[in-house]
Structure 1
Amino acid sequence: MSPHSAERGAPHSAEELAALLGPTARRCRLGIAGDEGIALAPLTDHHLHLHLVDEHALPAHGIAAAVDLGGDPAHFARRPKQSMPHLEYAGAFLTVPGGYPSFRSWAPAQIVDLVTNPSSAPGVPGGARTCVDEMADAGAAVIKIALNAAEGRVFDAETLQAVVDAAHRRGLPAVAHVEGDGMTVFALDAGVDVLAHAPFTERLDDALITRCVRAGQIWISTLDINDDPATAVANVTAFVAAGGRILYGTDLGNGDRPSGLLIDELVLLHEAGVRGPALIASLTDPWPRAASDTGVATFVVGTPPESPEAVPEWLRGARVVPAEELITDEY
């Protein structure tokens, strides 16, 4: 720390800052004569639906990258690659005839792809491999599977396994919306890599939580979308305590919520034990990319928060800035 740190009002050393906000946090200025503040790696919302939100408002409110988990693959394939937020996508939901979300008003035909058989041969109409290949060929980075037994039909075990295997054959993670009794273990048994929502309709026992962690399964939070988040929060608490990897995600587009970083989601993650550096890690994890975009950063004007409890509200000031505009001084 430089002798000028006290004059600047800096309440944390570099080591204390890392302990509070993780290894990407650093003090800097925005421009030569600009505001002083804290820079972090760019933030990602790992679950939203871009056609239902104001995408242009996302960077101004902290979100540099997003993962669309159910949208028109043709639209995304045409979207400029350097658009902000930077986007990875699943393309259409893979579901069965009569399955979620084919009957929902917000789900036009182009965001639903019906799998009618478990064929692993290429080009078979409605076949598991064909449907996965269609999304992969349209540029999908993940494959989204609907397993909503609470509303409509779901895959049989053979067809689900064929879809997951086809995704893995293309080198893509299989992401499942699980809802209804038994759907978490059904997804796990088939080798689903990621849950699009932390399980919210059933309280998982410790043995199943342990299996999910040992399998390397990832959960995307979406806690605040629930009318009563208690079940999801309890599951996440147990999952992270057992060493599970959790990602910040909101399901933006579902309901009337503002585009950007959602503080209520962060508060619930903190409640579930995802605090301080772990909370920042859930936001800055580049999944499904291998690495974050180095051309942009998150910037919060002012001093860092004083405690992990203050981190969610502090992040309300987050915005996306070009990394080249940040100047790091010696503190």
Structure 2
Amino acid sequence: MNGRWLLANRDFLVRDLVRDYCTVYSLLADQRHRFDVDGAVSYTALRDLLGEAMRKGVFWRLKDTAHHLFRNSPGIEAVAPGGMPSLELPPQGDIPTESGNAAEQEQIKALRRHADNVLPGGAGAQKALEGLIDWCIGYAFHECAKLKEDAFQGQHYANRLIQISRIPAVTADMYNPLRGLGGQTSESSSRELSRIMHVLAHGLRLLASYLAVERHNAHLARWLASEEDFARRIFGQSYDHLLASLYGNDRERLYLMAARDFLHAGRREPARALLAKAHQGGSLGLEGLTLLRELDREAASECGGSGICAACGKKNSLPCLPFLAGQGRGCA
């Protein structure tokens, strides 16, 4: 992929990295629990988690995203000379909108922002974290591939061996040299699961520290705010550290960034619902309350006589899906 494209789309890639990391960790934690209870993991679940080259699973996509971000993405200095304005140009607000197209200007803004986002330890410490996070994901991925093969062995060959041993013609001399292999496969699965969960748990802690450079990432904020309970469960004790490194004591900023990202995508109702939930939790300040009231007024005026649904933005004579889902808002 083009290095400049990777940097310009970094916000999306980081959001995908965090989302998929949490998903993978949750699914593998479920398999760890299943193994502790039943002594086996699901081959089908691991197969779907990994996927194949032509149909990649979420773990494979996570590995690819980590490689794009931490291996293939060049430094800002590598792409600045290649035809884009240098970083010594006037601040973003001083750039006239007529110079170049809007997409070009957005790329330049993104590149500048990422150039300024460096961890307190400096670029060297940041590169070290990036390398370790990428290593953790790659190592766990290949351990999971081994675990999938062991799951297949346990699900098919171990059971088949037991069935064959019950055939009257099978003697002890024929069967005994093979009888311990099923137990060895189970031991291998246990060790692989332990390594996977250990590596991914440590990677989560590294990721929580690394994400301090993403304080301006609205797409990440939107995911964190929308999936707050899930993210808190996966990050565990590191979650509060993550939010503190991203937003400091200004927790309202998380919800404002998320709501504005929804609004930028033309989704007013999710933005309104998100702010309302944050208000109920006592996380909104004056700015957030002002935006929430503005969205409430817009929703009331639109539903009041225009015939346009506040949920789907269309003029309908039949109820829309948000209304049918019981949200109490929308076409009716």
Q: TM-score range with shorter-chain normalisation?
A: under 0.3
Identify the structure with bigger relative contact order (alpha carbons < 8 Å, sequence gap 6+): 1
- TM-score under structure 1 length normalisation: 0.27
Normalising by structure 2, we get a TM-score of: 0.27
Structure showing the higher helix proportion among its residues: 2
